[in-house]
């Protein structure tokens, strides 16, 4: 955990810094926002703890302008609710009153460091996969983690890092599908001041941030072929070139990559470099889908039920035997991510002393698992990581299938584009706005999906946000 503390607050943040270091955090201390930006450009960080009087509403846009996606915690002397509310409205994730409380500091660090890395398993199939991961973790070999969307590939990558010889160094993740193509090179390798419009200062990239530790290249199959050549050189030579730079920079990292696509097929089709595939695929770890490890469902469900009771500050309830039976019988095409969302809803919907079957709702709210509610027509395609509709910018084949399932009479008079749009939006709602999962179900690339959603939004169509049920739209 790399913590950047910004401000002084009469020495109280120094005390917080000491507490964080005692909990294993690597701490950097700067006096103001400009110092924070300079530190982020040169070192990076996993969490910012900022003095509340330093104008957080002004700081957040500066972070976004330079594409820093880092949680900000505001700190202030006392517990004035108006100050806390103003900080959170300004973009802070949380407010911590000072003088600091050791347990509160520990809880904040734990919440950030353990985000998306709970490794819960009980099924023999997953135990075998975890044992293999633990066996290869201490090596320096590059590892390719494959599996369907939502199976927990990033969780597995963090587990590998925690069991490696680099565990006390940085773990840095890059989602290759989420970063626009024209920015990904700078995000990976960094840039020099003036290298392009908006490059206001030198900034190190994720390779340099991860120096000495582990770099996760998440959804690497979405990386443009032209950038793959530069990535290959960086992995082979352990040297990178900042955008606009004049000399190479040495880096010492261990590479982990993930993909929910069949990369051997992508290589044959010319979408992925064969030499890069072999360089990354020294060890392959396949994370099985949830339907192949039913023994994990109960353990995961109980963990999520407790987690979201705590998140929503409501009484924790146990899952009833009937609820567990229903959860175990479901195929979970969205895998662990879908199960997590279902349990979050169940925690909110449950009444009484237990979480019963009536609270286990389907993602689109159309019914619940107890009553055998049908999944949307597109969902079965998620059962395989292979595309089902051609990744050629169209999901017309899938739209045609939906037309037949829905009944041809209801489609008469509608254009293919309209049916395709409704299928994409409905699938996105089903995935609670998760674009990677929706693209996998639809059998198209995340880039194609993003382009279509941009088009729909420009036409005034409401596009679901990640984590939403489709009730509101967001910029893409």
Mean pLDDT of 241-269: 92
The pLDDT-based confidence of 372 (bands split at 50, 70, 90) is: low
- Between CA 16 and CA 301 the distance in angstroms is 35
Q: Are residues 151 and 50 in the same domain?
A: no
Mean pLDDT of 425-433: 82
Q: Which of 427, 437, 296 is nearest to 364 (CA)?
A: 427
Share of the chain above pLDDT 90, in %: 36
Question: Of 95-109, 331-345, 410-424, 452-466, where does the model show the most confidence?
Answer: 331-345
pLDDT at 181 over 90: no
Summarised one tens digit per residue, pLDDT across range 5-21 is 998 776 777 777 888 88
Q: Are residues 337 and 390 in the same domain?
A: no
Give the pTM.
0.65
Please report the pLDDT score of residue 246 as a whole number. Answer: 85
Please report the pLDDT score of residue 114 as a whole number. Answer: 52
Please report the pLDDT score of residue 275 as a whole number. Answer: 95
Partners of 4 in the β-ladder: 28, 48
Q: Which of 64, 104, 56 is nearest to 84 (CA)?
A: 56
Mean pLDDT of 421-437: 83
Mean pLDDT of 288-310: 93
Q: Are residues 324 and 422 in the same domain?
A: no
Mean pLDDT of the chain: 81
Q: Are residues 274 and 316 in the same domain?
A: no
- Between CA 223 and CA 1 the distance in angstroms is 27
- Between CA 91 and CA 63 the distance in angstroms is 11
Count of the separate structural domains present in the chain: 4
- Between CA 410 and CA 412 the distance in angstroms is 6
- Between CA 39 and CA 3 the distance in angstroms is 11
Its domain, for residue 451, covers 379-458
Mean pLDDT of 208-221: 94
The pLDDT-based confidence of 411 (bands split at 50, 70, 90) is: low
Mean pLDDT of 175-183: 83
CATH for 353: 1.10.8.60
Give per-residue burial for 116-146: e unless 16+ CB within 10 Å, then b. Answer: ebbeebebeebeebbeebeeebeeeebbbbb
Query: What is the bridge-based pairing of β-strands 47-51 and 72-77?
Result: parallel
Alpha-carbon separation of residue 433 from 126, 336, 398, 463 (angstroms): 28, 16, 19, 8
Q: Kindly state whether residue 51 falls inside one of the protein's structural domains.
A: yes
Question: Of 186-200, 249-263, 375-389, 390-404, where does the model show the most confidence?
Answer: 249-263
Q: Identify whether the C-beta of residue 432 lies closer than 8 Å to the C-beta of residue 466.
A: yes
Please report the pLDDT score of residue 327 as a whole number. Answer: 94
Q: Kindly state whether residue 463 falls inside one of the protein's structural domains.
A: no
Q: Identify whether the C-beta of residue 425 lies closer than 8 Å to the C-beta of residue 464.
A: yes
Q: Under 8 Å CB-to-CB from 474, ≥6 apart: which residues? A: 463, 465, 466
Please report the pLDDT score of residue 371 as a whole number. Answer: 57
Mean pLDDT of 150-176: 92
CATH for 220: 3.40.50.300
Q: Are residues 318 and 343 in the same domain?
A: yes
The pLDDT-based confidence of 27 (bands split at 50, 70, 90) is: confident
Partners of 218 in the β-ladder: 175
Structure tokens at 234: 């960086």
Alpha-carbon separation of residue 310 from 6, 116, 152, 327, 339 (angstroms): 29, 16, 22, 21, 17
**Residue 75's Cα: distance from chain center in Å?**
26
Torsion of Cα atoms, 249 then 255 then 261 then 266, to 10°:
50
The pLDDT-based confidence of 365 (bands split at 50, 70, 90) is: low
- Between CA 473 and CA 465 the distance in angstroms is 6
Please report the pLDDT score of residue 146 as a whole number. Answer: 96
pLDDT at 373 over 70: no
Mean pLDDT of 54-65: 86
Q: Are residues 325 and 392 in the same domain?
A: no
Q: Identify whether the C-beta of residue 360 lies closer than 8 Å to the C-beta of residue 327.
A: yes
Question: Of 82-96, 357-371, 400-414, where does the model show the most confidence?
Answer: 82-96
Q: Under 8 Å CB-to-CB from 142, ≥6 apart: which residues? A: 235, 254, 255, 256, 257, 279, 280, 281, 282, 283
CATH for 424: 1.10.10
Q: Answer with the residue of higher pLDDT: 9 or 420.
A: 420
Residue 149 is given by DSSP the state: T
Q: Kindly state whether residue 473 falls inside one of the protein's structural domains.
A: no
Please report the pLDDT score of residue 200 as a whole number. Answer: 77
Please report the pLDDT score of residue 108 as a whole number. Answer: 74
Structure tokens at 57: 């509403």
């Amino acid at each position: 955990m790399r913590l950047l503390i910004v401000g002084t607050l009469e020495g109280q943040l120094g005390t917080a810094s000491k507490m964080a270091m005692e909990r294993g955090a690597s701490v950097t201390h700067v006096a103001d926002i400009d110092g924070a930006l300079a530190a982020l450009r040169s070192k990076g960080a996993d969490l910012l703890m900022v003095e509340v009087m330093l104008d957080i509403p002004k700081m957040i846009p500066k972070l976004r302008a330079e594409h820093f996606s880092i949680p900000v915690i505001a700190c202030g002397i006392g517990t004035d609710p108006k100050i806390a509310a103003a900080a959170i409205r300004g973009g802070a994730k949380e407010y911590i009153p000072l003088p600091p409380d050791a347990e509160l500091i520990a809880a904040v660090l734990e919440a950030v460091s353990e985000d998306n890395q709970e490794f819960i398993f009980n099924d023999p199939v997953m135990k075998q996969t975890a044992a293999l991961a633990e066996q290869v973790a201490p090596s320096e070999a590059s590892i390719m983690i494959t599996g369907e969307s939502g199976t927990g590939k990033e969780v597995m990558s963090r587990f590998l890092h925690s069991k490696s010889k680099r565990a006390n160094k940085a773990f840095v993740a890059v989602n290759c599908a989420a970063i626009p193509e024209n920015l990904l090179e700078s995000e990976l390798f960094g840039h020099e001041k003036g290298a392009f419009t908006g490059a206001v200062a030198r900034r190190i990239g994720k390779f340099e941030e991860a120096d000495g530790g582990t770099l996760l290249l998440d959804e690497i199959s979405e990386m443009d072929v032209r950038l793959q050549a530069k990535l290959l050189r960086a992995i082979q030579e352990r040297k990178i070139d900042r955008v606009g730079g004049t000399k190479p920079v040495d880096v010492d990292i261990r590479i982990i990559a993930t993909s929910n696509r069949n990369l051997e097929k992508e290589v044959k089709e010319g979408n992925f470099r064969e030499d890069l595939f072999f360089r990354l695929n020294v060890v392959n770890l396949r994370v099985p889908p949830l339907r192949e490890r039913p023994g994990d469902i109960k353990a995961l469900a109980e963990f999520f039920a407790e987690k979201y009771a705590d998140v929503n500050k409501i009484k924790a309830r146990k899952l009833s035997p009937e609820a567990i039976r229903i959860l175990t019988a479901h195929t979970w095409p969205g895998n662990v991510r879908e199960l997590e969302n279902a349990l979050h809803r169940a925690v909110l919907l449950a009444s009484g002393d237990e979480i019963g079957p009536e609270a286990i709702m389907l993602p689109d709210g159309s019914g619940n698992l107890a009553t055998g509610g049908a999944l949307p027509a597109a969902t079965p395609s998620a059962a395989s990581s292979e595309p089902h509709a051609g990744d050629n910018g169209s999901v017309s084949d899938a739209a045609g299938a939906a037309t037949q399932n829905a009944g041809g009479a209801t489609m008469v008079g509608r254009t293919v584009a309209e049916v395709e749009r409704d299928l994409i939006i409905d699938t996105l709602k089903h995935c609670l706005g998760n674009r990677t999962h929706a693209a996998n179900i639809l059998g198209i690339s995340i880039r194609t999906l993003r382009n279509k959603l941009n088009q729909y939004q420009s036409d005034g169509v409401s596009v679901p946000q990640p984590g939403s049920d489709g009730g509101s739209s967001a910029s893409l």
